[in-house]
């Protein structure tokens, strides 16, 4: 089965990044450095009380840490990325909006400081990620319910752990759930340099699938293409190149893709549909162009293409926590085997959050911003 193939046949990748972990250890901030205390402590958090421009509504404030109850876990956050969904949530145009005021961030990794008397699955020193969105990870410390946390191996590079629960999971589910793909089959995607796109390339390579990767043209396009090929991309094309007749020569060497992954919309998604195999599926999981998906009547009738959508939060609502944990374990195995690395990241201290927000909202984002605590 394809899932089993993910756990074998490792192919060497670039060295995994460990700088955040090294920084953490140099500061001496290990779990043993802290002990549980009945006294409330102050934590720093990035909070927004209204929806709007993240640069204007996000503020760094002090919060009082709540007491640890019987089923609670006191977590010191280590690192948390700034994802497009985080920005959209602050702007107020996302499918899940927490009650305001809210702490920003939906993803990240932390270390357990103390546990309540009823907690049996976690202990001080364990690394954990959040099982669901909307809980707020852009803070130095927090108290979460044990049910809201998933333990991850401490030997996973910190940047990989901090970016594990959203983009790689989205990539994995889209590759596994919509078409019964076999080794040698092909997948086409746009936004290939995004966090999801990079994860798709690597997981597909582990599955021995071929990938056709579409990116927007930019000044450093050749550098970007080389980077994606180093990750395992078989073909990398600009959106303009995908429209050229010469592109058809690619399919002399591989079958038409049965799966297309769309994060852009507009003309880009229409081009993906044109290259789908008859009966193939296009899955839309984002809309960077802020334009609708347009599918011609002829493609729907004569090629019987299927249009689907995917949202990881909805998948979690329809599946058990154990299934999510199993997926996290599979992805951690890929990381251990060198088949899945974190996207290129830039570390930004929590107090310099404005820098991270501004960088995350630029047109061409080449590095994921990671807030360090």
Judge if 79 and 199 occupy the same domain. Answer: no
- Given 288, 309, 330, the domain boundary residue is 309
What's the rounded Cα separation, in Å, for the pair 209 and 57? 43
Q: What is the CATH number of the domain that holds 127?
A: 3.90.180.10
The structure's pTM equals 0.89
Q: Which helix (H) or strand (E) holds 78?
A: strand 72-81
In a domain, 322, yes or no: no
| Statement to judge: residues 71 and 130 lie in one domain | yes
The DSSP letter of residue 367 is S
Whole-number pLDDT of residue 40: 52
The total number of structural domains that make up the chain: 2
Rounded to 5 degrees, φ, ψ at 143 are: -115, 120
Whether 186 and 235 have beta carbons less than 8 Å apart is answered as no
Q: Determine the length of the chain.
A: 373
DSSP-assigned states of every residue in 296-312: -HHHHHHS--EEEE--H
The DSSP code sequence of 101-167 is: SEE--S--EEEEEEE-TT--S--TT-EEEESSSSS--SBSEEEEEGGGEEEE-TTS-HHHHHTSTTH
Q: Are residues 82 and 222 in the same domain?
A: no
Encode pLDDT of 253-275 as tens digits. 899 999 999 999 999 999 999 99
Contact in structure between 369 and 346 (CB atoms under 8 Å): yes
Which runs of consecutive H residues, i.e. helices, occur in the chain? 2-5, 19-26, 54-57, 84-91, 158-162, 167-177, 195-206, 221-231, 239-242, 266-274, 297-302, 312-317, 321-336, 353-360
Eight-class DSSP state of 291: B
Would residue 189 be called left, alpha or beta, if left means φ above 0 and alpha means ψ between -120 and 50 degrees?
beta
pLDDT at 2: 52
CATH number at residue 269: 3.40.50.720
CA angle 42, 47, 48 (to 5 degrees): 155
197 and 284, same domain (yes or no) = yes
Q: What is the pLDDT along the chain (373 residues), one digit of tens a residue?
A: 555 555 444 433 333 333 444 333 333 333 333 334 444 567 999 999 999 999 999 999 999 998 999 999 999 999 999 999 999 999 999 999 999 999 999 999 999 999 999 999 999 999 999 999 999 999 999 999 999 999 999 999 999 999 999 999 999 999 999 999 999 999 999 999 999 999 999 999 999 999 999 999 998 899 999 999 999 999 999 999 999 988 888 888 899 999 999 999 999 999 999 999 999 999 999 999 999 999 999 999 999 999 999 999 999 999 999 999 999 999 999 999 999 999 999 999 999 999 999 999 987 767 899 999 9
Is 209 inside any structural domain? yes
Residue range of the domain that includes 274: 179-309
Quote the CA–CA distance of 206 and 11 in Å, as a whole number: 8
Q: Which two tokens stand for residue 26?
A: 């140099």
Is residue 70, in this structure, part of any structural domain at all? Answer: yes
pLDDT tens, 134-157? Answer: 999 999 999 999 999 999 999 999
User: Which of 309, 331, 352 is where one domain is finished?
Assistant: 309
236 in the same domain as 122: no
Please report whether residue 1 resides in a domain: no
Last residue of some domain: 286, 309, 332? Answer: 309
Query: Is residue 64 domain-shared with residue 93, that is, in the same domain?
Result: yes
Q: What would the two tokens of residue 233 be?
A: 């991309």
Catalytic residues: 94
Look at residue 362 in the predicted model and tell me its pLDDT: 85
333 in any annotated domain: no
Q: Name beta bridge partners: 370.
A: 81, 347
Please tell me whether residues 298 and 211 are part of one structural domain: yes
**Residue 319, domain member (yes or no):** no
């Amino acid at each position: 089965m394809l899932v089993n193939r993910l756990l074998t046949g490792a192919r060497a990748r670039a060295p995994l990044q460990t700088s955040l972990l090294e920084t953490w250890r140099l500061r001496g901030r290990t779990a043993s450095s802290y002990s549980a205390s009945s006294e409330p402590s102050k934590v720093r958090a990035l909070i927004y009380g209204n929806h709007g421009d993240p640069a204007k509504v996000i503020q760094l404030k002090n919060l009082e840490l709540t007491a640890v109850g019987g089923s609670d876990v006191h977590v010191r956050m280590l690192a948390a990325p700034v994802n497009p969904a985080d920005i959209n949530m602050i702007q107020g145009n996302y499918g899940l909006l927490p009650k305001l005021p809210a702490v920003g961030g939906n993803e990240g990794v932390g270390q357990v400081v103390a546990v309540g008397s009823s907690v049996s699955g976690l202990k001080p020193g364990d690394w954990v990620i959040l099982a669901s969105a909307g809980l707020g990870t852009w803070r130095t410390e927090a108290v979460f319910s044990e049910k809201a946390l998933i333990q991850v191996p401490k030997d996973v590079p910190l940047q990989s752990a901090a970016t594990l629960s959203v983009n790689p999971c989205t990539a994995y589910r889209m590759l596994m759930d919509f078409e019964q793909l076999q080794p040698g089959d092909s997948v086409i995607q746009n936004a290939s340099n995004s966090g999801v796109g990079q994860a798709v390339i690597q997981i597909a390579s582990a599955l021995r699938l071929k990938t056709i990767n579409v990116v927007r043209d930019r000044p450093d396009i050749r550098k970007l293409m080389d980077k994606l090929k180093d990750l395992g991309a078989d073909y990398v094309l600009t959106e303009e190149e995908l429209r050229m007749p010469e592109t058809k020569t690619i399919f002399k060497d591989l079958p038409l893709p049965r799966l297309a992954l769309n994060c852009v919309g507009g003309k880009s998604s229409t081009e993906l549909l044109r290259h789908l195999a008859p009966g193939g599926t296009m899955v839309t999981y984002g809309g960077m162009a802020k334009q609708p998906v347009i599918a011609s009547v002829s493609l729907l009738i004569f090629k019987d293409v299927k249009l689907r959508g995917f949202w990881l939060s909805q998948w979690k609502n329809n599946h058990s926590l154990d299934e999510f944990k199993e997926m996290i374990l599979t992805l951690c195995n890929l990381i251990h085997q060198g088949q899945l690395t974190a996207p290129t990241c830039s570390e930004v201290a929590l107090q310099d959050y404005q820098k991270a927000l501004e960088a995350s909202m630029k047109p061409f984002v080449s590095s994921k911003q990671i807030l360090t605590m």
